[in-house]
Amino acid sequence: MIFGRPGSGKSTFSYYLSNTLNIPLFHLDKYFYISNWNERNYDEFIAIQKNLVSNDMWIIDGNSTKSLEIRYKSADLILYFNFPRYLCYFRILKRYFKPNKFFDDRAKDCKEQITWSLLKYMWGFENRVTKSIKFLQKKYPEGVFVEIRGSGDLKIIGERLVKLRAPSLL
C-alpha cells in the first residue's frame, strides 16, 4: 500500500514497482472518480476497495484517508510518502505541464489540474494523517510501516523490495 502527500511520487513509484515485481497495481483515483472529477458513490467506492484488497497480491496507490484502514489492515507493507512540501508543490506543477504518458492513474476525462483545494490538501496532509497512522500502527502491528521522506529513502526501499522479490520471480 502506498499513500502520502500529493506530488510525492506515489504513482510513479507504484508504476515502477508493479512493472518490476509483476504485481497488479490499482490507482485509487480511478475508482474514487467516475469521470470529469465527479465522485463515485462512497459506499460503492468502499466496496471496490474491499474487493481490491481481497486479492492475494496488490499495490494500491492513493490516499482516501477516510478509508485508509481498509487498505492498511490488509497490507503487508505500508509505504508513506512524506516528502517535503516544496518538492511536492514543484512536482504538482511539473506534472501539470508535463504529464507522465507511461501510466494512466486517473478516471476517464480527469485531466491534470491544479486547484486551491489540492494545494491546501497537500499542505496539511501530514497533520491530517499523523493521528490515524499512529492508531493503525498500534492496531495492525503486523504490517511493516515505512516512512519515505526523500529520494534517498525511496532508492533504498526500491532496491530492497526488488532484491527481496527477485528470487520468487525466477
Q: What is the pLDDT of residue 108?
A: 73
Cβ distance 139 to 118 under 8 Å? no
Q: At 143, which CATH number? A: 3.40.50.300
Q: What is the pLDDT of residue 164?
A: 72
Domain that holds residue 164: 2-169
Q: Which residue, among 167, 148, 168, 145, has the nearest Cα to 158 in the 3D structure?
A: 148
pLDDT in tens for each of the 170 residues of the chain? 999 999 999 998 999 899 898 999 999 988 988 877 788 999 999 999 999 999 999 999 999 889 999 999 999 999 999 999 999 999 988 888 887 776 677 667 767 778 888 889 889 999 999 999 999 999 999 999 999 999 899 888 888 887 776 444 33
- The total of structural domains in the chain comes to 1
Q: What is the pLDDT of residue 95?
A: 81
